[in-house]
Amino acid sequence: MTNLQICLDIATEAALAAGAVLQDYLGKLEDTIIEKGRPGDLVTVADKASEVVVLDILRRHFPHHAILSEESGALGNQEDEYLWAIDPLDGTTNYAHQYPFFAVSIGLLINGVPEVGVIYDPFHNELFRAAKSLGATRNRRQIKVSSTSELNKSLLVTGFAYDRRETSDNNYAEFCHLTHLTQGVRRSGSASLDLAHVACGRLDGYWERGLSPWDIAAGIILLQEAGGKVTAYDGTPIVIESGRILATNGIIHDSLSRELKQTPPLK
């Protein structure tokens, strides 16, 4: 069995190296920004250069592990016991506009369960790390979720999927509903950092739809090791492939789940 501490250290090496690449490209993209399909779904040379660095390091140390990466897709046997879920630039739209909220996200799923996660915010030089039973840290210091106990005193975060223009299941109603019930709902544009910020207590809860495994694999184990709770919207065990996640400090989890289920449609 692969040692989780070794996996964590290698993932950290990859995230830091990729973060340096992103810093080098920041503000220098010129005409290299491309829409992948839907409006706002962007990719840049920085995404690809960051991914090359991550893949090189992971393959060198774990040549037999499978990989699922946003830009290259599925590499290797996706049914393998070990699967790395990688987003080399989470928050590409932010990055393309030089809005300082983006990250490298690297998670390791073992038999489908996230057990190692590293999220690196190179602009603010914040490194979030976690592995099962090894705790969660920010810049090598232990972190934990908030103690906020009431939804009306909470600060939440969410996001909107790229297909929001094409479907009524677009999170707009939930956003409006919960904005009225809490102290605010933020929208950052980076799922991995949203989870990291719930894990370190800056935010109390997060929900979103339309996500991919590489968006949330690292953040799930980070939040769990920081004492938080991660489920589907209705409180049942999360299915990563569903693209839906509810993540909180654990205390407001049931309240937030209930409100998501009871959200009235927009008029």
Annotated binding residues, as ranges? 70, 87, 89-90, 215
Q: Can you list the alpha helix ranges (DSSP code H) found in 119-190?
A: 172-181
3-state SS class at 236: coil
80 phi and psi angles, rounded to 5 deg: -65, 155
Closest CA to 71 of 53, 98, 96, 95: 53
Residue 58 has which token pair? 């992971």
The DSSP-derived string for 59-95 is HHH-TTSEEEETTTEEES-TTSSEEEEEEEEETHHHH
- The SS3 assignment for 141 reads strand
Q: Which residues contribute to the annotated binding site for Mg(2+)?
A: 70, 87, 89-90, 215
Question: What SS3 class is residue 161?
Answer: coil
What's at 196, amino acid-wise?
Answer: A
Burial class (CB in 10 A: 0-12, 13-18, 19+), 234: exposed
The token pair that represents 7 in the structure block: 């996996």
How many Å apart are CA 59 and CA 146, to the nearest integer? 37
